[in-house]
């Protein structure tokens, strides 16, 4: 099955598909936390989700609230796109980082890894940093 991550790095996508649940979770968590830090995403829900994911927790409670934040940021970014391109990029990056964190919390570790890493790499100026972090997580 083709994933969004295939459009960025087919080899990484295949490696994540084949990885153990532990490696998938580690890749998703590492990528999401780097993206959130790099994009400067803050707020109570972000901090609660960071604590949850660091403690190995998953679930819909944080995901739902993060997806609401993503929708809010995406709407704001859309409004800035034409007239304020620099501000647009900041808000867009924050939305993608929040989405990475939301996906990393998905109960399905495969979705957490594939979608979380995809969103994380879209959140940063240097996506190769996210790819490197995910590869390192796979290597153990």
What one-character-per-residue DSSP string does 84-103 give? -HHHHHHHHHHHHHHHHHHH
8 A C-beta contact, residue 35 and residue 97? yes
4 assigned to some structural domain: no
Residue 51 C-alpha from the chain's centroid: 15
79 assigned to some structural domain: yes
5 assigned to some structural domain: no
63 assigned to some structural domain: yes
Domain encompassing residue 121: 10-139
pLDDT in tens, the chain (140 residues): 799 999 999 999 999 999 999 999 999 999 999 999 999 999 999 999 999 999 999 989 899 999 999 999 999 999 999 999 999 999 999 999 999 999 999 999 999 999 999 999 999 999 999 999 999 999 98
19 assigned to some structural domain: yes
Q: Is the pTM of this model over 0.85?
A: yes
Query: What is the radius of gyration, based on Cα positions, of the chain?
Result: 14
Number of structural domains, the chain? 1
133 assigned to some structural domain: yes
């Amino acid at each position: 099955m083709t994933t969004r991550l295939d459009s960025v790095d087919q080899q990484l996508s295949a490696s994540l598909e084949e990885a153990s649940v532990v490696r998938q979770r580690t890749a998703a968590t590492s990528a999401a936390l780097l993206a959130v830090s790099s994009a400067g995403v803050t707020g109570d829900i972000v901090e609660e989700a960071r604590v949850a994911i660091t403690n190995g927790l998953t679930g819909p409670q944080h995901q739902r609230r993060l997806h609401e934040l993503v929708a809010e940021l995406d709407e704001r970014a859309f409004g800035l796109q034409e007239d304020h391109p620099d501000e647009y990029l900041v808000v867009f990056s924050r939305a993608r980082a929040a989405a990475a964190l939301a996906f990393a919390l998905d109960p399905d570790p495969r979705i957490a890894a594939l979608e979380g890493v995809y969103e994380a790499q879209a959140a940063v100026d240097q996506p190769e940093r996210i790819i490197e972090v995910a590869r390192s997580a796979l290597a153990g």
